[in-house]
Structure 1
Amino acid sequence: MAARRRLATREIHVDRNGQLATPSPRPPPLHDLITTIIDNYVPELDAVTLSSIVEPSPRICGSWVEVLPELIKNDTDTALASAVRAFAVSILSRGPKRSFSVSEGLEAYNQALVSVNEALRSPYSDFPVAIAAAVMCLLLAELYHVTSLCSYKAHLQGLADLMQLSRPEVYASGIPHRLFVVLAFLSRKSSFLAKDEWKTIPFCETAPSPVQSLMSEAAVIPSILERMDAEGARAVAQESLQAFEAALARLDAWADAFHSSASASSPLFWFQQSADHKRRHISFRDITAASALTHLWSFRVICLTNMDQISALCHDCRPTADDGSRMAHSGETKRLSVMICQSIEYLMQDKMKLFGPTSLSLPLRTAYATFEAGGEQSGEELRWCKEILKDMRTRGYGFVSYFLGV
């Protein structure tokens, strides 16, 4: 909070006639900007102070922000400093307690775009960790301005291209490892992260977080969807069904291992009745379990839904007898989608900071699509989902609607 108060400081100017002129912002120290980002992004249970030693095995994928102090200390990179300011000011230009105007947030964002573009034109031999962190800051600053989903995807693709310029070994330790992020499933396109070397080498020294290991198992799903789009679902129906079955098997294996980490005294999640007694909601052991399980349920829904669609399109396609029990059913996808919505209350707690809402984009989009496709039988659930989105927009997280296209 102290950092936020310092960031709100304004210089007072007086003209020659002794009249107060328009106040202008006093450039805050980078230390305060970084504190603001960590205070607003990292969940309280995972928060660290700037003097903390960076843990070797991060619990959440968003822990990359915790290396910003070290990057700023070791590198006076103008692009990173500009992007850090853009992200921090964007955070503080939204909500009822905002200390910067929206126009100031946009101005800082535009300045950072110019600075990062100039930095990308400069030659470099090793992985440019400062530039990668700058792109991540721009990526999240974009969420507050939501100029367009295309802009967000452009930043995401730029980060993917930047990562691929280096070998997977680069990300095995140190700051690059903390910046090794799992790209979102925003399109039906294959990703380099689905390759075996990218799923194993970056984690040969430091074990992946549960969410990172889950994403590695699910990384093949976009490539299946991409082939269906390119060659036609009917033409590759049998191969796609088998690929989805294999993906589900990997997801189930991951789930078994993850659930085995829980104990009877500390389960991964449990159901609770809401305060108004109208609906149940889900509480989780921690933010790691919440993020991992909501994404697991999303990936299962995506697989099952596409398998149902393939079967409906091509009636002569039948999986093997062993795979028959795994055929998708609308009841299962609806059940999982309801569980995703029951998780919203936990992830939207104030203590989850910005990480909670940003981690909901894919799960909520998946649940919304399930209810929308369910027609009248899912009408009540779809209205519930729309109420959730309305509440998120009211609380300043309108970017989620962009991911859902509503």
Structure 2
Amino acid sequence: MSSNISFQRGLVESRRAYDNRVLVQINDSAAFDQQIISALWEKYTPSVSSVQGGTPCVWLQHIINLPKRGIPLHLSLKAFAMTRIGWILKDESLMLQGNLCYGRALNAVQQALSLEASMWQDELFAAGYVLSVYELFESTTPSIAGWNNHVSGLKHLVLVRGPQRHATPFARAVLEEFRTSSMIQCIQYRKSSFLGNADWLTQPWSETGKDIYQQLYDKGFALAALLETIDNARLTNENTDISILSDYLGRLSSLDQELNLWYGEVLKESPSPLYWHSQSISHQWYLKQAVEPRALPPFAFHTLRLANIIVTHWGLRLILSNTIALACQHVLSMINQIPSQSSSPTSLPANQDLRTLSLHLLATHTNTRRLELATNIVLSMPYCLSDNMGLMGAQKSLFALRTALFALHRHPGEELKWCQAMYQELETKKGLGYAREIAKSNGRYSAAGRNKLPLRP
């Protein structure tokens, strides 16, 4: 969180000169603070109670309901509120005040981090997370570096605090929200995380149990760790032992089965059907971009929370399916290059079993299947990004939409146009600066964008 302080201070100074016609001062009255934070709640969360699915945003509700917020948390929340409400109202003065408040919040967090006692406070953890969400929308750097710095800094803070310090309702709510951001970053850079270790998967929920939604993020951390081990093993090396390839293919297949089981549990716990085509959902971008006869009505869901978790599941399946397909192709290529006379009698049955498994997985993980998953994500966006879903609907859609963009670039068509239109909407109509920077990279996932089994760069 503090690694980019110097840059952020320079940013604040430059934005002070943004409008030299007036001397901008931040409104610090209690009445203004209450009003702007209440406005943030209204614009950030779904406005229709029937789609909220209980408390619409637990972590933010905890923060707002605190009897008194400390300076770092209050300034962080106020900065986020002013910039978002200012952006919605097209009020440049309010946005500028929010930018200045962000600089003050960074300084306050930096000072708190210098005090050992403050590091254990749940409020400091919450303040850091709010700043990361601010960066997700504002994208104060001409890249995703700002958001990455915040998330990386928060990971260090969470690690120092330990899993036992995240068992209170407040800390656990922020941790659950942060796990989403951390999982995205881990998959993006194909790195494992301590959040995927056994104690971090269990201790914060030892008294309450972990709901099925959080269990999906466990699978995401497992996928990131598996991608890292695959990169480190350098499986495309021609000297790689066939047994090692068999082991990794088995682990990929096992994770795929775990995701199948997870989805089955969701079906049991959720209203049926999970989603359906709805003619009643109208969306300007969709009507403009859809081309008959391939166009289908967009999906509708019972709640935004259910929609978020289903599209995240589809995003994880897309990445895993692509990895499995590449691994199977490499395995079959290596087996075909092994002369039959050079194989020992004991290795022939093993190679045949591996060939059978690879062919079976390839029959399931086809380009058609991945195109279907990507299309499902895009068809969910009119629901997730409607104005009734607030800014939260857009924020929660970023990961899945990025995976769809990655997949559809390999199969250009109308679906790709829909996906690109979504990214334009995320930036222009939802104000998500992160989406703009991701669009510049054509949705590629680091080494995962290569058309071969990816290696560490």
Structures share fold, TM-score greater than 0.5: yes
Equivalent residue, structure 1, for 2:300 = 283
Q: How does the TM-score come out when normalised to structure 1?
A: 0.83
| Residue identity opposite 2:264 in structure 1 | D
2:407 is the alignment partner of 1:384: no
1:217–1:21 distance in 2 versus 1, CA, 3 Å: closer
Equivalent residue, structure 2, for 1:338 = 375
| In structure 2, distance between residues paired with 1:321 and 1:197 | 37
Task: Give, in angstroms, the shift of residue 64 of structure 1.
Answer: 0.7
Equivalent residue, structure 2, for 1:366 = 403
Equivalent residue, structure 2, for 1:54 = none
| In structure 2, distance between residues paired with 1:270 and 1:212 | 24
Equivalent residue, structure 2, for 1:310 = 327
Task: Give, in angstroms, the shift of residue 74 of structure 1.
Answer: 4.5
Which aligned pairs between 1:143-158 and structure 2 lie closer than 5 A?
A: 143-146=136-139, 147=141, 148-158=143-153
Q: Which has the higher contact order (CA 8 A, sep 6+)?
A: 2
Equivalent residue, structure 2, for 1:250 = 258
- Asked if 1 retains the 8 angstrom alpha-carbon contact of 2:328 and 2:358, the reply is no
- Asked if 2 retains the 8 angstrom alpha-carbon contact of 1:59 and 1:209, the reply is no
Moved more, 196-205 or 345-354: 196-205
Equivalent residue, structure 2, for 1:268 = 274
Q: Deviations over 1:123-182 (max 9, x none)?
A: 127732111111111111112321231110111111111111133232223211112131
| In structure 2, distance between residues paired with 1:401 and 1:179 | 26
Task: Give, in angstroms, the shift of residue 310 of structure 1.
Answer: 2.0
Task: Give, in angstroms, the shift of residue 319 of structure 1.
Answer: 4.2
Equivalent residue, structure 2, for 1:50 = none
| In structure 2, distance between residues paired with 1:336 and 1:63 | 29
- Asked if 1 retains the 8 angstrom alpha-carbon contact of 2:324 and 2:361, the reply is no
Q: Secondary structure at the match of 1:280?
A: coil
Equivalent residue, structure 2, for 1:228 = 230
1:393–1:69 distance in 2 versus 1, CA, 3 Å: closer
- Asked if 2 retains the 8 angstrom alpha-carbon contact of 1:173 and 1:206, the reply is no
| Residue identity opposite 1:259 in structure 2 | L
Equivalent residue, structure 2, for 1:329 = 366
| In structure 2, distance between residues paired with 1:210 and 1:42 | 22
- Asked if 2 retains the 8 angstrom alpha-carbon contact of 1:217 and 1:247, the reply is yes
Moved more, 354-363 or 321-330: 321-330
Q: How does the TM-score come out when normalised to structure 2?
A: 0.74
| In structure 1, distance between residues paired with 2:49 and 2:93 | 27
Which of the numbers 259, 275, 295 marks the counterpart of 2:312?
Answer: 295
| In structure 1, distance between residues paired with 2:82 and 2:152 | 24
- Tell me the number of residue pairs that the alignment of Structure 1 and Structure 2 aligns: 370
Task: Give, in angstroms, the shift of residue 43 of structure 1.
Answer: 2.3
- Asked if 1 retains the 8 angstrom alpha-carbon contact of 2:328 and 2:359, the reply is no
| In structure 2, distance between residues paired with 1:239 and 1:58 | 43
1:58–1:136 distance in 2 versus 1, CA, 3 Å: farther
Moved more, 210-219 or 273-282: 273-282
Which of the numbers 212, 215, 218 marks the counterpart of 1:213?
Answer: 215
Task: Give, in angstroms, the shift of residue 68 of structure 1.
Answer: 0.8
- Asked if 2 retains the 8 angstrom alpha-carbon contact of 1:144 and 1:397, the reply is yes
2:134 is the alignment partner of 1:141: yes
Which aligned pairs between 1:91-170 and structure 2 lie closer than 5 A?
A: 91-98=84-91, 100-124=93-117, 127-146=120-139, 147=141, 148-170=143-165
Q: Secondary structure at the match of 1:283?
A: strand
1:353–1:207 distance in 2 versus 1, CA, 3 Å: farther
2:44 is the alignment partner of 1:41: yes
| In structure 2, distance between residues paired with 1:330 and 1:385 | 17
Q: Identity of aligned pairs, percent?
A: 22
Equivalent residue, structure 2, for 1:172 = 167
Equivalent residue, structure 2, for 1:5 = none
| In structure 2, distance between residues paired with 1:25 and 1:185 | 34
Q: Secondary structure at the match of 1:93?
A: helix
Task: Give, in angstroms, the shift of residue 223 of structure 1.
Answer: 0.9
| In structure 2, distance between residues paired with 1:89 and 1:184 | 28
- Asked if 1 retains the 8 angstrom alpha-carbon contact of 2:325 and 2:361, the reply is no
Task: Give, in angstroms, the shift of residue 229 of structure 1.
Answer: 2.4
Q: Deviations over 1:185-244 (max 9, x none)?
A: 222110112112212221222233433121112211111111222332325643332222
Query: Which ranges in structure 2 are unaligned for 5 or more consecutive residues?
Result: 1-20, 336-352, 443-457
Equivalent residue, structure 1, for 2:427 = 393
- Asked if 1 retains the 8 angstrom alpha-carbon contact of 2:25 and 2:97, the reply is no
Q: Secondary structure at the match of 2:184?
A: coil
1:173–1:58 distance in 2 versus 1, CA, 3 Å: farther
1:106–1:371 distance in 2 versus 1, CA, 3 Å: same
- Asked if 2 retains the 8 angstrom alpha-carbon contact of 1:210 and 1:288, the reply is no
| Residue identity opposite 1:121 in structure 2 | S
1:253–1:394 distance in 2 versus 1, CA, 3 Å: same
- Asked if 2 retains the 8 angstrom alpha-carbon contact of 1:31 and 1:69, the reply is no
| In structure 1, distance between residues paired with 2:112 and 2:403 | 37
| In structure 2, distance between residues paired with 1:161 and 1:371 | 35
- Asked if 1 retains the 8 angstrom alpha-carbon contact of 2:183 and 2:220, the reply is no
Q: Secondary structure at the match of 2:224?
A: helix
| Residue identity opposite 1:154 in structure 2 | N
Task: Give, in angstroms, the shift of residue 253 of structure 1.
Answer: 0.9
